[in-house]
Structure 1
Amino acid sequence: MERDGAGSGPGLSLDRIVRVAVGLADAHGLATLSMRRVATALDAGVMSLYRYVPGKAELVDLMVETVFGEIDYPEPGPAGWRARIELGARREWAMYQRHPWVLPIVAGTGRPPLGPNVLASVEWVLAAVDGFRLDPATMLQVYLTVSDYVQGAARYVQTEAEQERRTGVNAEQWWATEAPALARLLGTGRFPVLSRLTEEVGAAPATVRQDFEFGLGRVLDGIGVFLSGEAGAADPADGRPANDPTGAATDENRLEKVTILDRRLPAATSAALETLGRRWILDLLHVLGHGEARFRDLAEALPGISRRVLTERLRELADAGLLRRRVDPGPPTRISYLLTGRGAGLREVLTGLDTWARQGDRVTGD
């Protein structure tokens, strides 16, 4: 990540810029982060930062890569799928406690950053269920089930921290304040189960760590049932279905299961169709298929698109790895957009779609 440049001030490097930005986001949140604030923390001119990173969006991507790179995934890792997933989940959860600003970027979205450290995290966990004869979409669903739980639990901690910062009241103080009102409600007799529980364990909830560990255990219990029974998965140790240790299941039954699973649209294809189906996406790809273009050129080529929507669509295409932003420092500074190799690979698809559309009334059904 290190990259020194002339005129950028002593000791300034891409690695240092990113790590200072991570520290600012940890302390004050991502919303307050700006290129100017990072430059001030580095005692550097704001324009010197652009020698290393084109803008805040690209800086945030590098920040996410950096904090995911902090997670230590041992190799070969613990034996057994459960121990491996458990370790990965705990280390990812711990990273979110150190860097809570990462959560809104990676959680609750089908378009997370796709840097090598992020992908390495996914790869390490997926390896836990590799060899169970699951189809690719199901393997990914197993990973997402665990990831969604970890991110949701971490989001809960983040929300509680934000509430405490905003109100100045921590969870223990809040429960103490609400205790009289809760006691009155429970005293009505309408909530007998809750009344019994609060009498036995008290009104205050378990610690955050206890909550996380209990939930993680139950998620893994469910995955264990799925792997051993519902999926008819193979045990990586001997290749036989885990719910059929005698190997009595017939090849015909196995083939039938595989055939049914193969009918499902692959997850990658489904995600690609979701991206391409958004308004203006295909129009932008068509225009950029003819070569590099500036924002103004794209706006003129697509009458009817607003600047806000154009900005959003360009970011979505960049997030999907189909587009990249080129910054020429000039002077004057010139920003343009061009397709990546992956984006250019859609030219043949777009040409085929154009040919199909031009057939018009000549297209007939079987």
Structure 2
Amino acid sequence: MSHTTDTTTGIRSEKAPTVSFTYAAFLLAGLAFLLVAPMFFYPIFLMKLLCFALFACAFNLLLGYTGLLSFGHATFFGGAAYFTAHAVKEWGWTPELGVLLGVAGAAVLGLVMGFVAIRRQGIYFAMITLALSQMFFFFCLQAEFTRGEDGIQQVPRGHLFGFIDLNVATNMYYFVLAVFVIGLAVIWRFVNSPFGMILKSIRENEARATSLGYSVAHYKLGAFVMSAALAGLAGGVKSLVFQFATLTDVTWQMSGEVILMTLLGGIGTLIGPIFGAGLVVTLQNYLATSDFPVTIITGVVFMVCVLVFRRGIIGEFYASRLGRRLGFEHRQ
């Protein structure tokens, strides 16, 4: 991929991204597989995988492209799940409006949390997001509309646009798939826009970006809100898939889980978080009925990946000789 240097700022940036034939073929093959996947796999498992893959991609937008490690992304995922579930069940909203409310609510939460957190860097930023996330967890525990420890149960899926019955598993799956593809397209466009290029420069050298006149705090806040909104999109859809929203969605363990998914797949790549989410969700699904402790097995897998694949599994593939030969080394 070629580069240019902005003569007014001095920041070396990439030109508009191009998609190689191999990369495009890879993406099309993945999409084709997802289109026929319900014929071979349990639809609920696939929908869970897609929801968490989108959640991981949203988190990667903040960590991989902006360099901000948040321990509070469960707030946006779980908060949107609560907002969507309440709107659909108690107010009788259609599923698409419920999901949009969840996205808007997550964006507002991201704006508030980000406004406070971006004032600090490094571990202090991470600890502030964790503290604010725990505050939201206790709010959800006490708030009346969340039903406390019981959560919001029996959430109706309803009819999409008034005529597509989401109670039919196939219809629900393709709705989730459409949301996933749209979310992924938004992330790709955001990352490869001029705004995204500035985020990468902030990640690489924040002091230089500041010295060149960029309002680093504003760009960080924008990335934080976008990441929160997309995490909310995943959470809102998840509440419709499983037809409930509970405290599990807003715990710190959920924030840790999405970090694990992203690191396993490879931060700073578009495909990495999807692969990481697929790996974790598959382990959870197939080990749940076995005698093996899921958390220990997942921990061992994570430890091996950290020791062997320092860039994550997909990140290491991109950097390998085969990945470079196929033209993946610059893919994000």
Q: TM-score, normalised by structure 1?
A: 0.22
Q: Larger Rg: 1 or 2?
A: 1
Higher relative CO (Cα under 8 Å, sequence separation at least 6) belongs to 2
Flag the structure with higher helix content: 2
Q: TM-score, normalised by structure 2?
A: 0.23
